[in-house]
Structure 1
Amino acid sequence: MKQQPLISVLVPAYNHEKFIRKTLDSILEDDYSNKELIILNDGSTDNTEQEIEAWLKDNKGNIPVIYKYQKNCGISKTRNSLIEKSNGAFLVFISSDDYLLQEGIRKRFNYLADNPEKLAVFSDCIVVDENDHIISESGLSGYYSANKENLKSDKKRKKELVTNWSVPGGTLMIKRETYNKFQYDESLLIEDLDFYLKLVSQNKLGFIDEKVSAYRVHGANTCMKDENWVKIQKDIINTYKKNLKRFSFSLQLRMLYKMAINYKPLLIYKLKKKVN
C-alpha cells in the first residue's frame, strides 16, 4: 500500500484557553494517520500556554508535535512562521478556537490528489458558538452568503470570491509548493482574502462542498473586536487594490466597486470622529 504523504496541521494559538484543548483533540482524533501537529503560541496572555502544555503531557507520543512560544507578532507572521517550521507536503491551518470535523483532512487531500493542477482547496464548515451550540450548518451559505453553486464551477469561482467574499477560516488545504509562489502578507490583519485572490486569479484554487471544520463565533474573534474595525476596512480596500492587475477588466470594475463599499463606512466614521 502506497505511503500517505505527511500532512502538517498548523495551529496559530492566541488567548483561547477555553477552546484550545478541543482544537488539539480534533486534530489527534482525525482519521488521517500520517500527520504532524505544529503549534505556535503567539504571546498569549491568558492560560493558553498552560492548557497546551497539559494537553501535550497527556498526549505524549500520540502524534508528532512541534510547539513553540513567541512574543506577539500577529496572525500573518505567525502563519508564515508555522509554514517554515512544518515538514508536510500538504498544510492545513486551524485556529485555536476552531476544530476539525472527522475526515476533514482526508476529503481535502483526496481532492488535491485527484486534481494535480490545483495548489489549494477550500471547503464548507459548520458554525458554532462558545458553548459548541451549532449556529449554522453552513458557514458559507448559512452564516455568510456565498453561492456554493458558483464556487463549484471553475469558471464562476473567481467572480464569486471577488464579488462575494464569504469564506470562514479553517477550511483551506494547501500544497507546500504553494508557498514558493505566495506567502501571507504580514501587513494585513485579514490575511486570507489576499491569499485566496492570489490563488484564484491563476485558477489554482479548488472547492469541495464538504463540511471539514467548525468555525467558532464568539466575542474575542479578531474580526469582531471594535478596535480592529478600521484596520480591517483598510486591509480589505488595500487587498483589492494590490490584486487588481491579476484579474480581467470586468472583475477589476467589480473590485473597484467593493473598494468603494468599504471606503464609505470608513469615511463616515472619520467624519463622525472629527465632529466629536
Structure 2
Amino acid sequence: MGYLVSVIIPVYNSEKYIEDTIKSILNQTYDDIEIITIDDGSSDESAKVIKELISIYKGKKTIKYYYQENSGVSIARNSGIEKATGKYIAFMDSDDLWKDTKIEAQMKMIEKTSMKACYCGFLDFFQEDNLTKKRKMKLLSGRILYDFLKDDVICWTGTWVMEKSLVDKNNIRFTENCNWGEDLEFFFKIAAITEVCCVGEYLALYRIRPNSLTTSSSFLKRSEDIHVLINLDKWMKQNADKLIYKNIDKISNLIYQFRIPFSLINYTYAYINTSSNEDIHKNFNSVYEKLYTNHMKNLSLINGLKSLKLYVKLYLMRFRLYKYRPRKNLE
C-alpha cells in the first residue's frame, strides 16, 4: 500500500476527451490514486461523462466530481488542491494523457531520492495524425530552477507529482484571473523551495488538436505572462528565507535579463510569422510596444546562445515592422 496521490483535473467543455483522460489515470499501474475533477462551468456533456464513469467504477476507483461557476483554470486547480486528501498531488488537463507507468515510476523515484517533487518528460501528441514527438529538453534532477528559468528544463503541468505539504506550508497557489503563465509561476516556486527529482522517460502526452492550435491573435495575449514573471520575482525576494537558493540576485537577473524578453520576443515573433499583413498593420501599436518596451533594454547574453538568438529575432522583427509603420517614422 503506497501513499495516496490526488490527481486534480480542471474540466471545461471537454466531453470529447475527458473519458480517455480519466481512463489513462484509472489504468495506472500505481493503485493508490483519487481523481478530483473540477467542472469549471461546462455547458456540454462533460458532467454526464464523468458521472457515468463514477457510477461504473464505484467501489473500485475513487473519482470525485465538483462543480463551480466558470471562474478559470487557476481557481479550479486551487479548489482541487483544497479538496485533495492525498499526501501527494498531481495535475492533469482534461484532454491530455498519461502512459500507464507514470505515477508508479515517479513515486519510486521520490522514494529512492527522498525528494518531495518529481517530474518526467512528455511528448507532443498530434491527435489528427495520431503521432507523438519529443521536444528538445534536459531531464535533470536536483536544483533545477536555473535551468528551468533558462528554458533548458521544460516541466509542463501534467508531468509533476509533489507532496501536498509543499504547497500548503508555503501557501503556493495558482494565480487567479490569469490567462497565461500561471502554471509556470506555480512550478517555478516549487523548484525554488525544494530539490526536484526526475524520471528520465517520456510518460505524459500533451494533446495538440487541430482546432485548439494557438491562433495568431492569442500570441500577443500570451506575452502578458510577463506580469506573472514580475510577480514571481517579488515572491522570490519576499520568501528568500524559504528558498534553497541564496543568490536571489541571480534568479532576478535570469527573470529580467532573459525570461521576460524570452516571452515577449518569442510570442511576438510567433504572432508576426502567423499573421496577415493587414492584421499586423491593425495591431501595429501593440506589437510596437512589445518590441520597444523597456524590458527589452534588460536583455543580455546571460543565457549564451539562447540569448543571442533572442537578439536576432528582435532585430528581424523590428526591421520587418518598419514597413508597417504609420506616417510617423519609428523612433
Shared fold (TM-score, shorter chain, > 0.5): yes
Quick check: 75-84 or 164-173, which moved more? Answer: 164-173
For residue 83 of structure 1, what is the aligned residue in structure 2? 81
Q: CA RMSD in A?
A: 2.7
Q: Distance in 1 between matches of 2:110 and 2:55?
A: 34
Q: Distance in 2 between matches of 1:102 and 1:162?
A: 30
Q: SS of the counterpart of 2:106?
A: helix
Distance of aligned partners of 1:273 and 1:233 in 2 relative to their CA distance in 1, 3 Å threshold: closer
Q: Structure 2 matches for 1:1-276, cutoff 5 A?
A: 3-116=1-114, 118-131=115-128, 133-136=130-133, 138=134, 142=135, 145-146=136-137, 148=138, 151-155=139-143, 157-164=144-151, 166-180=154-168, 181=170, 182-189=172-179, 190-219=181-210, 221=212, 224=214, 228-235=218-225, 237-244=226-233, 246=236, 248-257=248-257, 258-263=259-264, 265=268, 269=283, 271=285
Distance of aligned partners of 1:255 and 1:18 in 2 relative to their CA distance in 1, 3 Å threshold: same
**Aligned 8 A contact 2:128 2:210 in 1:** no
Q: Distance in 1 between matches of 2:128 and 2:146?
A: 35
Quick check: 38-47 or 79-88, which moved more? Answer: 38-47
Superposed CA offset, 1:159-179 (max 9, x none): 221011633331110101012
Unmatched segments (≥5 aa) in structure 1: none
Distance of aligned partners of 1:191 and 1:225 in 2 relative to their CA distance in 1, 3 Å threshold: farther
**Aligned 8 A contact 1:11 1:40 in 2:** yes
**Aligned 8 A contact 1:39 1:82 in 2:** yes
Distance of aligned partners of 1:272 and 1:67 in 2 relative to their CA distance in 1, 3 Å threshold: closer
Quick check: 226-235 or 7-16, which moved more? Answer: 226-235
Deviation at 1:49, TM superposition (A): 2.0
Distance of aligned partners of 1:49 and 1:84 in 2 relative to their CA distance in 1, 3 Å threshold: same
Identity in percent: 24
Q: Distance in 1 between matches of 2:220 and 2:165?
A: 34
**Aligned 8 A contact 1:219 1:225 in 2:** no
RCO higher in 1 or 2 (8 Å CA, sep ≥ 6)? Answer: 1
Runs of 4+ in 1 over 4 A off after TM superposition: 225-228, 272-276
Superposed CA offset, 1:183-233 (max 9, x none): 212132232110121122234333221222211012455x82556444431
Query: TM-score scaled by structure 2?
Result: 0.70
Q: Distance in 2 between matches of 1:79 and 1:231?
A: 22
Q: Distance in 1 between matches of 2:209 and 2:149?
A: 26
Structure 2 counterpart of 1:183, one-letter code:
R
Which of these two proteins has the greater Rg computed from alpha carbons? 2
Q: Distance in 2 between matches of 1:132 and 1:27?
A: 23
Unmatched segments (≥5 aa) in structure 2: 237-246, 272-279, 289-324, 327-331
Deviation at 1:270, TM superposition (A): 5.6
Q: Distance in 2 between matches of 1:199 and 1:50?
A: 35
Q: Distance in 1 between matches of 2:28 and 2:84?
A: 18
Q: Distance in 2 between matches of 1:186 and 1:272?
A: 24
Q: Distance in 2 between matches of 1:225 and 1:59?
A: 38
Query: TM-score scaled by structure 1?
Result: 0.83
Q: Distance in 2 between matches of 1:132 and 1:113?
A: 38
**Aligned 8 A contact 1:126 1:134 in 2:** no
Q: Distance in 1 between matches of 2:215 and 2:116?
A: 32
Q: SS of the counterpart of 2:48?
A: helix
